[in-house]
């Protein structure tokens, strides 16, 4: 049977005979919102990530994405106290705005003047890598610069994500053989992991050194790792491995999640000038600061100015619905269970929840489910419309729902609004129409997204 994510309807795909080739596991793939709600919320305890997940995603170590039971509960509790905090939200939005003003805008201005083609996918990856590093560890790699320097760390992350995707299909004995022989994807995984470990170890050492130099009465840097280091919590051993796993987890979430959303957003907008016009109509009502107007600078918006713009919010949600950065969620059943759809789940079944396919299900989103319609997220009164998280599954749902949802959306608004309001983006390669997602756990574009940037024609 040939299986594609786009072909899935509410019916579930399963294989109970042999499961994945030469393995002793059964597989069930579902995109039914009632099943998602049951697995992720109603019967949450029966569906942990499981040992198979941790084995496949072993590069993440014991970080919160990989953990279950008490380890996950402790990490979740601490992360919630540090991340879901007004001051940290303000810090993260401030970092995004400053990076747009001092990093992104000068690059866009350069390409406006030179009239050269730029790969927007690469640009967004660099922007979000620098931004996320600043937020997480307090260091800016300055990969977003005119000369677009090579950053081995980012190449290593891309390689690892690609290998993890294929590891879902490899029998365990085959993967162990590749590791033993140092061949193929196992070699790529080791090389990528070594690079990542070296860079993160350097970051941790620099952070510890910086903290030692600070005065006792100094509140410390506002980045996430500093907040962890300066707050002791029971049940957590704050050693270098803990910080290594933490940094990698948040770097992947921040760099990849936001850069992917921005890439697909501007590819989609390049084909929908009416939607761009509607967003600009909203933005024109935000008064420009006198300092920006007097100096002829591009207008950069803050999170508070953008928070209630329904059409911009709808555009962000639409791109996350159609192109969720994490294409699927992986769970395992502890005990036998019956799903709301009526399907029997055996103990030890591997379950895949396809976020990508869910956004394209007609019975969930309507006959126009494959259309990009920001209006889908606007109420009759013109306000932002919310959808249940088990239907709009991009930020997960239930106890494991994403703690960074609000700040993610805020950052996407800050970056996209600045570009849409000040610049015209023109796709220059016909093949842009054929851009497709890469085979990976993360929904990167398979190719670059080449564009020309010009100052907006008012």
Note the pLDDT tens digit of each residue in 248-306.
998 888 888 999 999 999 999 999 999 999 999 999 989 887 666 666 789 999 999 99
pTM recorded for the entire structure: 0.90
Strand ranges in 42-120 using DSSP code E only, listed in sequence order: 118-119
Q: What is the mean pLDDT of residues 114-120?
A: 94
- Architecture per CATH, 5-455: Orthogonal Bundle (1.10)
How many CB atoms lie under 10 A from the CB of residue 331? Answer: 21
For the chain, which residues make up each domain, given as ranges?
5-455
C-alpha span between 269 and 315 (Å, rounded): 9
CA 60 from centroid of its chain's CA atoms: 15
Q: Is 345 helix (H, G, I), strand (E, B) or coil?
A: strand
pLDDT at 232 exceeding the cut of 90: no
Q: Which residues are annotated as a binding site?
A: 402
Percent of the chain past pLDDT 70, that is, above it, reads 90
What percent of the chain has a predicted confidence (pLDDT) above 90? 57
- Per-residue pLDDT, 399: 93
Task: Please give the average per-residue pLDDT across 142-153, as a whole number.
Answer: 89
Q: What is the model's pLDDT at position 293?
A: 64
pLDDT in tens, 349-405: 989 999 999 999 999 999 999 999 999 999 999 999 999 999 999 999 999 999 989
Q: What is the CA angle 338-343-349, rounded to 5?
A: 75
Compute the average pLDDT of residues 127-132.
94
Q: Indicate whether 221 pLDDT > 80.
A: no
Q: What number is the average pLDDT over the span 327-337? A: 91
- Summarize the annotated binding site for heme as residue ranges: 402
In sign, the C-alpha dihedral spanning 129, 430, 436, 438 is negative
Cα→Cα distances 419→149, 274, 337, Å: 23, 16, 49
What is the Cα–Cα distance from 84 to 405, expressed in whole angstroms? 10
> What's the Cα-to-Cα distance from 301 to each of 320, 337, 417, 429, rounded to whole Å?
21, 49, 7, 30
pLDDT above 70: residue 63: yes
Once rounded to an integer, what is the mean pLDDT over residues 113-126?
94
Mean pLDDT, range 410-435, rounded to an integer: 87
Local structure of 423: helix, strand or coil: strand
Using the predicted structure, report yes or no on whether residue 11 has a pLDDT greater than 60: no
pLDDT of 310 over the 50 cut: yes
**Which of the listed ranges 117-121, 139-143, 223-227 does the model predict with the highest average pLDDT?**
117-121
pLDDT one-digit tens code per residue, 275-287: 999 999 999 989 8
pLDDT at 167 over 80: yes
SS3 label, residue 159: helix
Kindly give, in sequence order, each residue whose CB lies less than 8 Å from that of residue 251, ignoring residues fewer than 6 positions away. Answer: 129, 132, 133, 136, 157
């Amino acid at each position: 049977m040939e299986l594609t994510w786009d072909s899935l309807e509410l019916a579930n795909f399963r294989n109970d005979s042999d499961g994945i080739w030469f393995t002793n596991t059964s597989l069930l793939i579902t995109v039914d919102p009632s099943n998602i709600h049951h697995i992720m919320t109603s019967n949450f305890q029966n569906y942990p990530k499981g040992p198979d997940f941790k084995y496949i995603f072993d590069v993440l170590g014991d970080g919160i994405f990989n953990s279950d039971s008490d380890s996950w509960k402790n990490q979740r509790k601490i992360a919630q106290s540090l991340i879901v905090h007004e001051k940290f939200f303000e810090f993260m939005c401030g970092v995004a705005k400053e990076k747009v003003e001092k990093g992104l805008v000068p690059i866009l201005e350069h390409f406006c003047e030179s009239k050269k083609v730029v790969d927007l996918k690469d640009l967004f990856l660099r922007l979000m890598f620098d931004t996320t590093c600043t937020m997480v560890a307090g260091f800016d790699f300055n990969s977003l610069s005119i000369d677009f320097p090579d950053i081995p760390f980012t190449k290593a992350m891309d390689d690892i994500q690609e290998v993890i995707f294929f590891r879902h299909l490899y029998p365990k004995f085959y993967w162990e053989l590749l590791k033993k022989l140092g061949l193929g994807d196992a070699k790529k995984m080791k090389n990528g992991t070594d690079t990542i470990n070296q860079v993160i170890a350097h970051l941790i050492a620099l952070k510890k050194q910086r903290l030692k130099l600070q005065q006792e009465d100094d509140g410390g840097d506002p980045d996430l790792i500093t907040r962890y280091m300066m707050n002791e919590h029971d049940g957590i051993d704050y050693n270098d491995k803990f910080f290594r796993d933490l940094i990698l987890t948040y770097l992947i979430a921040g760099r990849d999640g936001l850069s992917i959303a921005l890439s697909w957003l501007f590819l989609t907008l390049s084909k929908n000038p009416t939607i761009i016009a509607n967003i600009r109509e909203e933005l024109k009502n935000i008064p420009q600061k006198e300092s920006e107007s007097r100096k002829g600078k591009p207008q950069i918006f803050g999170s508070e100015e953008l928070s209630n713009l329904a059409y911009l919010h709808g555009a962000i949600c639409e791109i996350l619905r159609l192109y969720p950065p994490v294409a699927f969620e992986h769970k395992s059943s502890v005990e036998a269970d019956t799903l709301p759809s009526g399907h029997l789940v055996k103990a030890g079944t591997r379950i895949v929840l396809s976020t990508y396919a869910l956004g394209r299900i007609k019975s969930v989103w309507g006959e126009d489910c494959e259309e990009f319609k920001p209006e889908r997220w606007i109420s009759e009164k013109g306000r932002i419309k919310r959808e249940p998280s088990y239907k709009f599954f991009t930020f997960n749902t239930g106890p494991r729902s994403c703690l960074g949802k609000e700040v993610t959306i805020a950052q996407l608004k800050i970056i996209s609004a600045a570009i849409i309001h000040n610049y015209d983006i023109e796709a220059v390669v016909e093949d842009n129409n054929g851009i497709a997602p890469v085979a990976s756990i993360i929904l990167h574009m398979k190719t670059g997204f080449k564009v020309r940037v010009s100052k907006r024609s008012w």
